[in-house]
Structure 1
Amino acid sequence: MGPLLSLALLLSMGIQFERPAVGQEVSSEDPLFRVEVDLVLLNVAITDRRGRYVRNLQPSDFRVYEDGIQQTLATFAEGNEAPRRLSASGERAVAAITPTTPAPVATEAPDTSAAAEPSLVGTNVFVLFDTSNFMYRSFVYAEDAIADFIRGLDGADSVAVYGYSRNLTRHAPLTNNRWDAIRGLRLAVAGDETALYNCLLLTLRDASTVPGRKVVIVFSNGPDTASAVAPDDVRALAEDEGIPIYVISTKEVNKDPISRNVFRRLTQSTGGRAFFARSWQRQAEAFTEIREELGSSYTLTYYPQPNPNRGWRSISVELISDALSKHRIRTRAGYRPRL
């Protein structure tokens, strides 16, 4: 069930783990127990009829349903504020202890090249930009737009800068140092063919190891020409890990209806947005809109109520009052629990 609740988030919510006292014997015949707590995290953007972001909502304004079952919110945050613990739902989840066999010891450490002491405050932003041969004529313009976006991020945000052509290049690992990120961006050079979906999948895997809120922003200047990974596999990972995907595409992509449809599906199902820009000015505006959304959206978490469904679980978010009912709500469509 994604995203997996990290140790850092457990500690931030005041959950403690007890060890046997010194000298206390633990019988090998005693059953082993493991607390399995998966926290579902939702990034929720709310806009009015004019497309303006709706701010200053409270937890009591929201209702969250999973497979039609109403959920109890565990934490709530607006923009980049620290998450607020709301109720005893965390204690309820910890109490649901079930016997299990010990988890296998990992033989290989996960790739943490993108992780630099992430914080639960702010957003972890992964920028994945096109460095393929589609970018030869417009490389400098793209770099400038991305650099301006990075400079304008909230001080609590962290950013990683990745580039893709046939292969993924991690130009700057996740950092809250804007100059380090821009320095890595400036080291990028245009490459060859485009394997967007391969590289997007790897970026999502990096992001999934980071606790807290995270998003992936894709800047694409041409259709995918070399991926072995299907777009639906990429979409499924982003849905399950709760990572919104934002795509900014240029006029070259706009000529390809297949890519346009794929970008729409990727963004809509994960709670992100697709921008089909016809000019460099519009592309810069798209980065500005994404930055505004990161500072205006809400982060909700909950521990799922008992649910026998082991497959796709749909998620819906509603605003309770009639005055808010006409607002547009955007979040991920659902997820598949980890078995």
Structure 2
Amino acid sequence: MKQQIKIKKRMSCVSFVVILILMTMAAPLRLQAQAEDIDVRFISPQHDAIWIGVKKIEVRVTGVKPEYLRSVAVYLDGKLVKEFNSPPYRLKYNFGQVPKNRKLEVLVRRRNQRSIRREIHSYYLDDFQEVNVLQVVVPVAVMDRRGNYVSNLKKEDFIILEDGVPQDISYFSKSGKSTFHLCLLIDISASMRDKIQKVKEVAREFLKQLMSKDDKSIIVFFNHEVFEDSDFTSDFNELDNALAIAFPYGATALYDAVAYGVRLMKPIIGHNIIILFSDGEDNSSAIDPYTIINIVKRSNSVIYSIGKKKYMNQYDQYQELLRKISFSSGGITFFLDDVQDVQKTYQKIRKDIQAKFLIRFSPRDKRKRNRFRKITVKLRNKRGYKVRTMKGYYY
């Protein structure tokens, strides 16, 4: 009887050891299973996009519990930006005012297992610069004597000249058929407190009516600073969320905002549009009026300016500057009596954008001279039609 009890005890001990071994073996198996299911990706910024200004860097790690992770580290161009010990893996980062070739990496360190590394890159700017040399993009609006947009023209109807020399048209898009990149610059200085809600409502409806699935937009706010909380996107919900966060305060850095928008669009080839809304003159920019005009002359975007109508000779310099900004780019300037007029103004801008023809040409003179090249667009046998386009470009 005693011997039987001893045997049972030995069997119990053996069973306990076997169970312990199985549990020890099972733990790595669970971790291995989790390792196979783990997904690491950047949510923001977007891969193959332009990273400029203050942007959100966000990493999402799924398929594994946070307690199985040692850390999540974010690197920019090989340098540590931040190391996280728990979610969310999110931060704001200022990429600067000038677009550069950048690389973001995330290193996910797991307990008792190899690390996982993922990376994304900004758009390779040298490719853009090379295309810039080979292709010049010219958006063109044509109107008849009554001020109606003309939409039934063909490639053969257009003549394009650079410094008076005819150029061969390499690409032609009919009116309303070209996709675009749009930058919406919205003033949120303190003076906008009683206007911002209306402006946001109209901007929201404007984007919804204008954009197709192939168009991309970005919203940039400015007061005494310039900032944006999203990348170029075709997702209307993302743009809607960006509009919702605007809260007016501070002074007005109008020139800085325009310069920011121009630099943001500069590396992008295609139909580029900037729409500026501000209710007052600049009182906070680091850039002076002379400099901003020179920056705009080097822009590759059509700029629409919406400002406040002057009374009793107020804002003369401000209004003249807005006119120059839009005129040189082939855009239009609007001055409003009341913020309620902004809806009609956005409708006019939408109509103008959708009426544009898009012409591309490869300049005969490809030598870089760092000078302004004048562009002229004419029509064959179309008397009484008025052509509006960019005045030229620097190369």
The TM-score range, normalised by the shorter chain, is 0.7 to 0.9
**1:64 Cα deviation from its structure 2 partner:** 0.7
User: Relative to structure 1, is the Cα distance of residues 127 and 45 closer, same or farther in structure 2, using a 3 angstrom cutoff?
Assistant: same
* Of 218, 225, 241, the match for 2:276: 218
The answer to which of 269-278 and 135-144 deviates more is 135-144
* Of 338, 356, 373, the match for 1:297: 356
Q: Which residue of 1 aligns with 2:186?
A: 129
Unaligned segments of structure 1, at least 5 residues: 1-6, 9-34, 82-120
Q: Are the counterparts in 2 of residues 267 and 273 from structure 1 also a CA contact under 8 Å? A: yes
* Of 255, 263, 269, the match for 2:322: 263
Q: Are the counterparts in 1 of residues 265 and 300 from structure 2 also a CA contact under 8 Å? A: no
The 5 A counterparts of 1:146-185 are: 146-155=203-212, 156-185=214-243
**1:80 Cα deviation from its structure 2 partner:** 4.6
The answer to which of 298-307 and 220-229 deviates more is 298-307
The answer to which of 295-304 and 164-173 deviates more is 164-173
Q: Secondary structure at the match of 1:289?
A: helix
Distance 1:59 1:203 in 2: 31
Q: Secondary structure at the match of 1:152?
A: helix
* Of 149, 159, 167, the match for 1:53: 149
Unaligned segments of structure 2, at least 5 residues: 1-47, 50-129
Q: How many residues align?
A: 264
- Amino acid across the alignment from 1:142: V
- Amino acid across the alignment from 1:71: Q
The 5 A counterparts of 1:309-320 are: 310-320=370-380
Q: Which residue of 2 aligns with 1:140?
A: 197
Distance 1:167 1:313 in 2: 33
Q: Are the counterparts in 1 of residues 187 and 279 from structure 2 also a CA contact under 8 Å? A: yes
Q: Secondary structure at the match of 1:294?
A: helix
Task: Among all aligned residue pairs of Structure 1 and Structure 2, give the percentage whose two residues are the same amino acid.
Answer: 25
**1:211 Cα deviation from its structure 2 partner:** 2.9
**1:122 Cα deviation from its structure 2 partner:** 0.9
**1:334 Cα deviation from its structure 2 partner:** 1.1
Alpha-carbon deviations, 1:211-248, whole Å to 9, x = none?
Answer: 32111000011100011213343333333342111011
Q: Secondary structure at the match of 1:211?
A: coil
- Amino acid across the alignment from 1:227: S
Q: With the length of structure 2 as denominator, give the TM-score of the two structures.
A: 0.63
1:73 aligns with 2:169: yes
* Of 310, 313, 328, the match for 2:386: 328
Q: Which residue of 1 aligns with 2:304?
A: 246
Q: Secondary structure at the match of 1:175?
A: coil
Distance 2:257 2:370 in 1: 29
**1:138 Cα deviation from its structure 2 partner:** 1.3
Q: Are the counterparts in 1 of residues 175 and 354 from structure 2 also a CA contact under 8 Å? A: yes
Q: Secondary structure at the match of 1:290?
A: helix
- Amino acid across the alignment from 1:40: V
- Amino acid across the alignment from 2:143: T
Alpha-carbon deviations, 1:30-55, whole Å to 9, x = none?
Answer: xxxxx884311111111112221110
Q: Are the counterparts in 2 of residues 171 and 185 from structure 1 also a CA contact under 8 Å? A: no
Alpha-carbon deviations, 1:108-138, whole Å to 9, x = none?
Answer: xxxxxxxxxxxxx511110001000120121
Q: Are the counterparts in 2 of residues 238 and 244 from structure 1 also a CA contact under 8 Å? A: no
1:280 aligns with 2:376: no
**1:152 Cα deviation from its structure 2 partner:** 1.0
Q: Are the counterparts in 2 of residues 64 and 318 from structure 1 also a CA contact under 8 Å? A: yes
Distance 2:294 2:139 in 1: 16
1:306 aligns with 2:365: yes
Q: CA-atom RMSD, angstroms? A: 2.2
User: Relative to structure 1, is the Cα distance of residues 252 and 271 closer, same or farther in structure 2, using a 3 angstrom cutoff?
Assistant: same
Distance 2:344 2:295 in 1: 28
Q: With the length of structure 1 as denominator, give the TM-score of the two structures.
A: 0.73
**1:310 Cα deviation from its structure 2 partner:** 4.4
The answer to which of 237-246 and 182-191 deviates more is 237-246
- Amino acid across the alignment from 1:303: S
**1:68 Cα deviation from its structure 2 partner:** 0.6
Q: Secondary structure at the match of 2:230?
A: strand
User: Relative to structure 1, is the Cα distance of residues 270 and 178 closer, same or farther in structure 2, using a 3 angstrom cutoff?
Assistant: same
Instruction: Point out the structure with max Rg over C-alpha.
Output: 2
User: Relative to structure 1, is the Cα distance of residues 154 and 78 closer, same or farther in structure 2, using a 3 angstrom cutoff?
Assistant: farther
- Amino acid across the alignment from 2:315: D
Distance 2:327 2:153 in 1: 23
Structure with bigger RCO (C-alpha 8 Å, 6+ apart): 1
**1:307 Cα deviation from its structure 2 partner:** 7.0
